[in-house]
Amino acid sequence: MDLGKKVASLRKKNNLTQESLAEKIGVTRQTISKWELGETSPDIKQAKLLAAEFNISLDELVNNNTNNVLMKKVSNTEHLATITIKMLKVIGIILAVVVVFVGVYAALMAWTPAATTYSGEINPYITADAALVSAHRSGGGIMPENTMLAFESCMNSKDFNTDIFEFDLHITKDNKLILLHDDTLDRTTNAVEYFGYEDVKPIDHTYAELRELNFGENFQAEDGSYPYRGLRGDKIPDDLRAVLLEDVLDKLESHGKYSYIIEIKDGGENGMRGVDILYDVLKERGLLDRVIFGTFKGEVTEYVDEKHPDMLRSAGIAEVLKFYGAALLNLDLGEDSFKYDALQIPANQYRVVRLGTKKIVDYAHRYNIAVQYWTINDPDEIERLNDIGADAIISDTPDVAYKIIKE
């Protein structure tokens, strides 16, 4: 048996998914998959970790021929490591600079100078004082992400308040929108065990089927424990099952008046169909003015602009780059140069594109654009971004953000 097949066999024998084994070894799930398919091989250090995890000797894991291959690979890797790292750093810097200049060029070509101060109705998401506190994935650092339990923990807390709830949506086989960040259910639930295969996608199953899963399966508490792992069948509480868009909105609106950042994760036709469903749900509940829609899919952004222009939305990736170029040059643009209502951005990207600056915030406000930073969990960074005028801090730990910003 070759090494890849042996790793796959031992993993399954030990009741491990590719993702859980990857976490233990310190690699990605894709790396484990490539090992098992024979596309690549683990190095000696990784092979030793695998052997230890499977409770066997290194000799049992690899035969002599494989071991020689691994030793040669390690030798070559060590020889090339320094050069590779330096090359990657240089390439990264070059790419970042190219991106910046492309953005600047696009800004110069696409826009013409006009008014310097916005004169229309002020964007309600621009805050005059402290930043708003947004619970990222419903407060996934406190309770299992995108679950009703997480929402309830934020809503009912006596120690902090949440201004904005941020969550992600995927469409199911029966055209329901459920809360889920990843493209698959593998990381957060027991889907692999329940369905018997990996890379379980919502689009392949009905909402009723997904309600059978434990969405708190892999949540790790602050003390390192997994308090909800192993719950199955009737023992899974309702607040740890799949959450339907309509249900979470009704729950939140019955408790108070919140704002929302909602991202459709699907692309293509699924993403567009998801947008239509989302739009109808929001319009029916009178929530269009309290939701900022987001997506990383360019075709979905274009669809929203064409079919649902009354939806508030954040900038897409290309739009962020154009904005960054314009801000760097302090271009004097027209009031209607931007189609979006908010920048939902990281503070620093690729160490060169620095979006977390007062210059960026001030330039955005000049054109009536709110600036909302994700995913900010470091207390010092929360304080810094609040000080430069950020309109919202999107954090896995809204309790920490609240304490820093509001108290």
The 10s digit of each residue's pLDDT in 28-82 is 887 888 888 887 888 888 888 898 898 888 878 876 444 444 444 444 444 444 5
User: What is the full DSSP assignment across 194-210?
Assistant: HHSSSS--GGGS-HHHH
Q: Given 3.30.930.10, 3.20.20.190, 3.10.20.90, 3.40.50.12780, which CATH number is that of 132-406?
A: 3.20.20.190
Q: Given CA atoms 338, 340, 342, 347 in this order, what sign does their dihedral have?
A: negative
- β-sheet bridge partners, residue 380: none
Q: What is the mean pLDDT of residues 260-264?
A: 98
Neighbours of 264 (CB within 10 A): 26
Alpha helical stretches, state H, 111-206 = 148-155, 191-195
| Residue 314 DSSP label | B
Q: Mean pLDDT lowest for which of 39-48, 147-156, 277-286? A: 39-48
Give yes or no for residue 261 having a pLDDT over 60: yes
| Residue 221 DSSP label | -
Give yes or no for residue 121 having a pLDDT over 90: no
How far apart, in whole angstroms, are the C-alpha atoms of residue 13 and residue 26? 20
Give yes or no for residue 155 having a pLDDT over 50: yes
| Report for 3-7, 30-34, 120-124, 144-148: range of highest mean pLDDT | 144-148
Give yes or no for residue 259 having a pLDDT over 80: yes
* Residue 175: Cβ-neighbour burial (10 angstroms; 0-12, 13-18, 19+): middle
Q: What is the mean pLDDT of residues 113-141?
A: 81
Give yes or no for residue 304 having a pLDDT over 70: yes
Give yes or no for residue 13 having a pLDDT over 70: yes
Start-to-end C-alpha separation, the chain: 62
Q: What is the pLDDT of residues 322-359, one digit of tens each?
A: 999 999 999 998 878 899 999 999 998 656 788 999 99
How far apart, in whole angstroms, are the C-alpha atoms of residue 226 and residue 248? 24
Q: What is the pLDDT of residue 71?
A: 41
Give yes or no for residue 266 having a pLDDT over 90: yes
How do the domains of the chain map onto residue ranges?
A: 1-110, 132-406
Contact 398, 153 (CB under 8 A): no
How far apart, in whole angstroms, are the C-alpha atoms of residue 391 and residue 126? 6
- Would the pTM of this model clear 0.75, i.e. be above it? no
Give yes or no for residue 120 having a pLDDT over 90: no
Q: What is the mean pLDDT of residues 160-180?
A: 98
Quick one: pLDDT band at residue 26, thresholds 50, 70, 90? confident
Domains 1-110 and 132-406 share a fold: no
Name the average pLDDT for the chain. 87
More confident call, 260 vs 111 = 260
Q: Nearest to residue 3, comparing CAs of 48, 36, 46?
A: 36
Fold of 1-110: 434 Repressor (Amino-terminal Domain) (1.10.260)
Q: What is the pLDDT of residue 73?
A: 46
* β-pair type (392-395, 132-135): parallel
Strand ranges for 302-354 from DSSP E: 312-313, 342-345, 348-349, 353-354
